[in-house]
Amino acid sequence: MRTSAELREGFLAFFEEKGHLRRPSASLIPRADDHSTLLTTAGMQPQMPFFLGREPPPAPLTTTVQKCFRTPDIDEVGTDGSHLTFFEMLGNFSFGRYFKEGAIELATEFVQERMRLDWDRIWVSVFAGDPALVLGPDEVTIELWEKVGMPRERIVPLPASENFWPPGGWAIGVRGPCGPDSELYYDWGEEHSCGEPDCAPGCDRCERFLEFWNLVFMEFEQHADGTLTPLSAQNIDTGLGLERGSAVLQNVMSVYETDGYRLLMDWIAHESGVAYGDSDTATKAHRVLADHGRGMTFLVADGVTPSNEGRGYVLRRIIRRAVQQAHRIGLHDLYRLPAIVVEQLGEAYPELPEHAEEIERVVKAEEERFAETL
């Protein structure tokens, strides 16, 4: 297992072997009764009715690769090698079957036997407890990680802002499933450390540790007043970022250097005549075009059209931001870019070739509309 495609299929196949029902990705447009976000932001979002017990799940165990889009990161895309708006989230879900022990054992087996990562480079974080949530430290998870061979010195307790999902709990006034989580990190090595003695997962001073898989122990419902009550069943929601997992497999610190972006990056360099890494301007432009190119392609395929509000404004914003960055490296006719995304990901997502002409038409019209305002 090395390529992005192999990781995507290998994850689904592994969990199918373990009794999980393979399910297709839900749309980037959330269900009509889900008002929590404009766009689908995580693999668990389509599962919320099942976690809350409002609907029966399609099976007690499921696995998906979910299309995700996170709007808060739009302006950060291009500034480093990890920020993305559009990404794929590999997930396995248990609705009342296995809990912490099962999730940790399955993750360990997949990392060791399928991804074949060096176990000495894997660290994990656990929930340190939070008085505001009236929850103590997650000692059970520490013991379970030790049971599968994780040394105690590589198990790091972190606060609710890092190890409770959603981070720190839902905003007051919002109801939803939640719980402590445990994250797997890949250690790029001491040469990438900030050098401080407390450098460990959660360090924001350096890029030594890359979080790539989150195991969420979904056992509570948070109510509008912020209080927690136990769900009717203890559930599991995990999310392994395909792009980050691919970076680890391919031993590159930037997701933009993985095979999943190579076709796009090569096309951008060829059409602009400017190579990735030629300058800070070129590097940022390539990253923005690659990420936003994928994002606009999937958004249009799922039925979003440019407008001045809501999801439509998100699409308009990323198309126009991509056009601006393209012009900085001499690339024009951005509407040709989605065809490269369709070529690369059309087999995994058949909705892309089905809507290829519409995607090009929508992006071209918005690009022309933006040109009139410049």
pLDDT value of position 168? 64
pLDDT value of position 175? 78
H or E segment and range at residue 237:
strand 228-241
Domains and CATH numbers, the chain: 4-250 (3.30.930.10), 258-373 (no CATH)
Distance (Å, rounded) from C-alpha 87 to C-alpha 90? 10
pLDDT value of position 36? 83
The owner of tokens 């809990």 is 99
pLDDT value of position 169? 67
Distance (Å, rounded) from C-alpha 279 to C-alpha 356? 32
Q: Provide the H-helix boundaries in 31-147.
A: 48-51, 100-109, 139-147
pLDDT in tens, the chain (374 residues): 899 999 999 999 999 999 999 999 999 999 998 888 999 999 999 999 999 999 999 999 999 999 999 999 899 999 999 999 999 999 999 999 999 999 999 999 999 999 999 999 999 999 999 998 999 999 999 999 999 999 999 999 999 999 999 876 676 667 789 999 999 999 999 999 999 999 999 999 999 999 999 999 999 999 888 889 999 999 999 999 999 999 999 999 999 999 999 999 999 999 999 999 999 999 999 999 999 999 999 999 999 999 999 999 999 999 999 999 999 999 999 999 999 999 999 999 999 999 999 999 999 999 999 999 87
Residues 6+ apart with CB under 8 A from 330: 272, 273, 274
Is the dihedral angle over the CA atoms 21, 25, 31, 36 positive or is it negative?
A: positive
Distance (Å, rounded) from C-alpha 190 to C-alpha 355? 46
